């Protein structure tokens, strides 16, 4: 019987620690636009004009300090208040509602499309890592020849090479050369 503090030993050792997909860097301008829209929602022209004056005051104060002068977020916030002020000046007697402006809707649609594309890229990277794990598991006991190749196994080969080096690539290249190619990609007749 083993003691609880002893490490369990397994025969299979991973080649390398899995890496997490890099996070998208924060966009200070986009964050500022969202903050301004949220704050301005329901404001009338007078309230927006007051908020614009405050934003200009803070921008002037920040311009006096070297470390704050290049603050992209502050400039985007000021530009957002100016844009809202212009929109409400063109339509007197209304309140700001971001859902009614085409510019805002187009920007939100662009952001949603970019997020969808990023999510698809992350899913594809995860699929490649999972297939690489599968092929590595088959490669270790020597049963790789029994696996059927898939359309994207070249990308998987690159992942295995990145993890362990060219000796794995040689095994996978030999397997890809010997394995019969399917006539049609998976899912197609």
Q: What is the pLDDT of residues 104-148, one digit of tens each?
A: 888 888 888 988 998 898 888 888 888 888 877 777 777 777 777
Average pLDDT of the residues in 150-174: 72
Q: What is the pLDDT of residues 11-66, one digit of tens each?
A: 555 555 555 556 667 788 888 888 999 999 999 989 999 999 999 998 888 888 77
H/E element, 72: helix 72-90
Virtual torsion, Cα 27, 30, 35, 38, nearest 10 deg: -150
User: By mean pLDDT, which of 28-37, 59-68, 156-165, 177-186 is the weakest?
Assistant: 177-186
Q: What is the pLDDT of residues 112-122, one digit of tens each?
A: 898 899 889 88
The percentage of the chain sitting over the pLDDT mark of 90, rounded to a whole number, equals 11
Average pLDDT of the residues in 173-181: 66
pLDDT for the residue numbered 14:
52
Q: Which residue has the tokens 């890099």?
A: 22
pLDDT for the residue numbered 18:
55
Of residues 97 and 53, more confidence is placed in 53
Average pLDDT of the residues in 80-100: 86
pLDDT for the residue numbered 115:
86
pLDDT for the residue numbered 169:
64
pLDDT for the residue numbered 183:
42
Question: What is the DSSP track for 89-123?
Answer: HHSTT----GGG-HHHHHHHHHHHHHHHHHHHHHH
pLDDT for the residue numbered 184:
47
Crossing angle for the helix pair 72-90 and 45-63, nearest 10 degrees?
Answer: 150
Rounded to two decimals, the pTM is 0.54
**Domain limits, the chain:** 28-100, 115-178
pLDDT for the residue numbered 173:
73
């Amino acid at each position: 019987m083993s003691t609880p503090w002893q490490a369990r030993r397994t025969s299979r050792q991973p080649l390398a620690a899995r890496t997490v997909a890099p996070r998208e860097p924060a966009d200070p301008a986009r964050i500022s636009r969202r903050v301004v829209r949220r704050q301005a929602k329901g404001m009338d022209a007078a309230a927006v004009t007051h908020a614009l004056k405050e934003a200009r005051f803070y921008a002037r104060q920040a311009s006096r300090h070297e470390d704050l002068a290049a603050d992209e977020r502050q400039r985007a916030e000021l530009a957002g208040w100016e844009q809202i002020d212009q929109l409400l000046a063109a339509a007197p007697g209304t309140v700001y509602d971001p859902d009614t402006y085409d510019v805002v809707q187009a920007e939100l649609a662009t952001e949603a499309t970019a997020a969808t594309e990023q999510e698809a890229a992350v899913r594809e990277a995860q699929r490649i890592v999972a297939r690489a794990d599968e092929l590595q598991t088959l490669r270790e006991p020597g049963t790789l020849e029994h696996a059927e190749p898939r359309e994207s196994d070249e990308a998987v080969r690159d992942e295995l090479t990145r993890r362990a080096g060219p000796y794995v690539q040689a095994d996978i290249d030999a397997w890809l050369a010997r394995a019969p190619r399917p006539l049609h990609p998976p899912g197609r007749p």
